[in-house]
């Protein structure tokens, strides 16, 4: 298990950049990513052109600046990243208030594109194409299952993800006590009324008495699992 890095210095607000600073702080304190950035493993192989912005290299510099003296490190102004906001997140501009979660998704997407491929031994089964170190730390798969409550027919889909949006407050007003509680709420079964737009693969078997000629009048049970 990789040890949690000691807290680093803060980041200066460059004008409505709280959304950016909060995301950067979370990323550089993420254990595996912090260790990778601290060793400058990306910049040693980076192929950026002269004057071209590289987010991975900028994060390496950020770690060096903000963790030099641990919590006593002075506040650092991440101007290189702030000035490159339009290159990271399309439509974002310095000085405007933006959404932190949306910015995080743009950052992870850009880091995935910039990242170097990891050794094939680390590739999960079924994953094809380029597979980066960042994906090995952040990515997962969401398996969703729809089951007919009448005949038991199941439809299973699996989709990759780099982040999940979790509800802090469930239906009925109950607040999730922690991250595990929010994940439990996210993965709960739900009984859903069917619609005529339900895909063919998700409908009951042809032998099910609940199936109509052009629509499905039964209810479905939907389940999501992170794997």
Of 63, 68, 1, the residue nearest 27 (C-alpha): 63
Summarised one tens digit per residue, pLDDT across range 103-144 is 999 999 898 888 765 555 466 666 677 777 787 788 777 788
Other C-beta atoms lying within 10 Å of the C-beta of residue 41: 15
CB contact at 8 A, 141 and 160: yes
In the beta sheet, which residues pair with residue 223?
145
Per-residue pLDDT of 152-208, as tens digits, reads: 777 888 777 777 777 777 666 677 778 787 888 777 777 776 554 444 444 545 445
pTM of the predicted model as reported, rounded to 2 decimal places: 0.69
């Amino acid at each position: 298990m990789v040890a949690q890095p000691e807290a680093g210095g803060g980041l200066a607000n460059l004008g409505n950049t709280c959304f950016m600073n909060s995301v950067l702080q979370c990323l550089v304190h993420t254990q595996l990513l912090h260790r990778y950035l601290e060793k400058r493993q990306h910049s040693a192989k980076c192929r950026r052109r002269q004057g071209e912005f590289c987010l991975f290299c900028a994060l390496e510099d950020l770690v060096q600046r903000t963790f030099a003296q641990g919590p006593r490190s002075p506040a650092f102004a991440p101007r290189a990243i702030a000035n490159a906001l339009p290159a990271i997140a399309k439509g974002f501009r310095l000085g405007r208030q933006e959404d932190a979660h949306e910015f995080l998704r743009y950052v992870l997407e850009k880091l995935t594109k910039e990242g170097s491929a990891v050794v094939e031994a680390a590739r999960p089964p079924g994953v094809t194409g380029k597979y980066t170190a960042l994906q090995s730390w952040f990515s997962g798969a969401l398996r969703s299952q729809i089951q007919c409550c009448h005949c038991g027919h199941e439809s299973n889909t699996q989709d990759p993800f780099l982040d999940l949006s979790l509800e802090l407050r469930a239906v009925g007003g109950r607040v999730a006590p922690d991250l595990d509680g929010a994940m439990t709420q996210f993965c709960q079964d739900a009984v859903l009324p069917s619609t005529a737009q339900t895909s063919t693969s998700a409908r009951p078997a042809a032998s099910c008495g609940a199936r109509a000629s052009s629509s499905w009048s039964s209810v479905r049970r939907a389940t999501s699992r992170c794997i």
